[in-house]
Amino acid sequence: MTAPLLSFEDYLRQPPEARMTHYVRKGRLYHVMLPQQFEEPLMEELFDTADLIKEITRKPNGSGFLKSVLRHKKAMLYFTQPSTRTFLSFLAACQLVGIDTAEVRDPSLSSEYKGESQEDGVRVFSSYFDCIVMRDPKPGFCEYMAYLLDATGRSVPILNGGSGKDQHPTQALLDLYTMHRSFFNRGGLRKKRYAFVGDLLRGRAVRSSVYLLSQFQDLEFHFVAPAAFQIAPDLEDHLKTLGISYQLSEDLESVLPEMDCVYMTRLQDEYDLSGESQLVDYSRYSLDLEKVQKMKQDSIILHPLPRRDEIHPEVDADPRAVYWRQLRNGMYLRAALLLHVFGAAHRLQEY
């Protein structure tokens, strides 16, 4: 007799460590859901693969070779929350390694309009495609769909492209890949001071990047935010448990001169319940050239983008601004992740 299916709430009541055990197969990641799935050796493997993909694309016939690696695979890009970068970089990453794609971005054009449940809709995708890249506003929904596909016997890998205010693991990976490349000749990610700035309560990119970075020793975190949007208690508990040094502040200018990395974010007012964003002066959490001049010469500025006013465009030309590089790094990194999930990274050695 098969076990009864767990409800969405009951599934997510299990601790992340227990859920994560179901996301691995044949010694590699199968479902990509949480930043906690990526330990340092795996991150290094993905960073090396991304470097290699980038190098191969520049070689004669390199793009043609890459396109042959996963040309037998098909991916569904199911994005029910707005996206430019994550959607397009997954699309471009699929194109790089030869994966055919289809997309649903507006559920009102699918049979959800006729009353089909989202769960049934995703199960339909698994009949036609070899993997599903998913963005959804409900925290944990991607994870529940991975569980449901596994439990109902027609499973394909699901990659979380952003789950509400909860997690954005591939954004975190591309953030750390960008930091890794920037700090390559400065001892890597360790022994650095990282400031995360802005709406830290509701920014999933910050949550995931802090979870991922917290695996490294000798880091110092500074969380600079309006009091109403400071990091969530569970993230603070996580850092306390690991004994990682962190400070909370509302004053960006006092923190800037000491930082190696400043990670800016926009106000996430799409999650407002009753106009709470209106109550904060977000201009205090912005960078212009005058403030950037107070930073260390070899520091870096990241932003997951999109931005509004929190980084003035005049900062873009400063060598410390690496947020445009993050975009391209994201495409290579996501291509590396697809090769890993399909067990095909070793094929790059054939080139």
Question: What is d(CA 44, CA 95) in angstroms, rounded to the nearest whole number?
Answer: 23
Tokens of 275: 């106009």
Tokens of 62: 């390199």
Q: Are 205 and 83 in contact (CB under 8 A)?
A: no
H or E element that contains 203 = none
67 in catalytic set: no
**Other CB atoms within 10 Å distance of the CB of residue 211:** 21
168 in catalytic set: yes
Q: What x-and-dash track marks residues 114-153 binding ligand CP by CB under 6 A?
A: ----------------------------------------
Q: Are 96 and 57 in contact (CB under 8 A)?
A: yes
Cβ nearer to ligand CP, comparing 170 with 230: 170
User: How many residues of this chain bind ligand CP (CB under 6 A)?
Assistant: 10
Q: Annotated catalytic residue: which of 22, 67, 74, 85?
A: 85
Q: Annotated catalytic residue: which of 80, 86, 170, 178?
A: 86
Cβ nearer to ligand CP, comparing 37 with 86: 86
Q: What x-and-dash track marks residues 26-65 binding ligand CP by CB under 6 A?
A: ----------------------------------------
**Is the N-terminal amide bond of 107 cis, ω within 30° of 0?**
no
Question: What is d(CA 132, CA 225) in angstroms, rounded to the nearest whole number?
Answer: 35
- Smallest gap from Cβ 89 to ligand CP, in A, equals 8
Which parts of the chain fold into alpha helices (H)? Answer: 8-13, 16-20, 40-57, 62-69, 85-96, 118-128, 141-151, 169-182, 204-213, 233-242, 252-255, 289-292, 323-341
- Smallest gap from Cβ 84 to ligand CP, in A, equals 4
Which among 19-27, 30-38, 300-308, 342-350 is the span making contact with ligand CP, rule CB under 6 A? 300-308
238 in catalytic set: no
Question: What is d(CA 271, CA 273) in angstroms, rounded to the nearest whole number?
Answer: 6
- Smallest gap from Cβ 308 to ligand CP, in A, equals 13
Residue 217 interacting with ligand CP (CB under 6 A): no
Cβ nearer to ligand CP, comparing 257 with 306: 306
135 in catalytic set: yes
Out of 162, 164, 169, 198, the residue judged to bind ligand CP by CB under 6 A: 162
320-213-269 Cα angle (round to 5): 75
Dihedral over Cα of 44, 50, 52, 55: its sign: negative
21: exposed, middle or buried (Cβ count in 10 Å: 0-12, 13-18, 19+): exposed
Cβ nearer to ligand CP, comparing 85 with 180: 85
- Smallest gap from Cβ 55 to ligand CP, in A, equals 25
Q: Are 263 and 209 in contact (CB under 8 A)?
A: yes
Restricted to residues 302-331, the positions that interact with ligand CP (CB under 6 A) are: 304-306
DSSP string across 28-74: EESSB--GGG--HHHHHHHHHHHHHHHHHHTSTTHHHHHHHHTTT-E
Cβ nearer to ligand CP, comparing 235 with 302: 302
- Smallest gap from Cβ 290 to ligand CP, in A, equals 26
Cβ nearer to ligand CP, comparing 226 with 304: 304
Q: What x-and-dash track marks residues 59-98 binding ligand CP by CB under 6 A?
A: ------------------------xxxxx-----------
Cβ nearer to ligand CP, comparing 270 with 272: 270
By annotation, the residues acting in catalysis are 85-86, 114, 135, 168
User: What is the contact surface with ligand CP in residues (CB under 6 A)?
Assistant: 83-87, 162, 171, 304-306
